[in-house]
Amino acid sequence: MLCRYEIQSCFLLAFLAVTAFFISDAQGQVSPPTRLRYNVVSPDSVQISWKAPKGQFTGYKLLVTPSSGGKTNQLILQNTATKAIIQGLIPDQNYALQIIAFNEDKESKPAQGQFRIKDIERRKETNKPKVKDPEKTNASKPAPEGQIITHMTDVIFLK
């Protein structure tokens, strides 16, 4: 018959074995990329950028799929990459994008999003500053009299 201390030791050893198994599995996981961004480069090209995950990983898988159900295109990138240009896109087409960090036989959860070139261009247009009355716009002001500590000037961006 097992004494009380032997039973406690068996439970402790079993607990440590299970804990070690789960910790070693979690340490092998790869963190996902974050901060996925899109920028139109040309009428059929988009530059995507992301923030690299922390920790060790071998590279990235970039997956681009037309939302209409077309073929998924896969690109393998080095672990030093934080941006890529996707060319040959159709401006009216919606695309699903996934970027996955990988390390040997492990993969991160995907950073994912959807985009359409026309929608990205439209957002850029709405973010541009607008000049209501060009006659009242003046990018320079006369310098103040006396000793100048700081002088500020309005800057207007015109297309």
Compute the average pLDDT of residues 81-102.
92
> Residue for token digits 């901060």?
35
- The predicted structure's pLDDT at residue 144: 52
Cα dist from 149 to 11, 139, 146, 153, 154, whole Å: 74, 20, 9, 14, 17
Q: What is the pLDDT of residue 110?
A: 94
Considering the four listed CATH numbers 2.60.40.10, 3.30.360.10, 1.10.940.10, 2.60.15.10, the one that applies to the domain covering 34-126 is 2.60.40.10
- Among 25-39, 113-127, 144-158, the range with the most confident prediction by mean pLDDT is 25-39
pLDDT band at 120 (very low <50, low <70, confident <90, very high): confident
With 80 as the cut, is the pLDDT of residue 95 above it? yes
Domain limits, the chain = 1-30, 34-126
Model pLDDT for residues 3-42, shown as the tens digit of each residue = 666 666 656 566 655 555 554 445 568 999 999 998 888 8
pLDDT of 109 above 70 = yes
Question: Largest Cα–Cα distance in the chain?
Answer: 99
How many Å separate Cα 4 from the centre of its chain? Answer: 55
Whether residue 157 has pLDDT greater than 60: no
Q: What is the pLDDT of residue 156?
A: 47
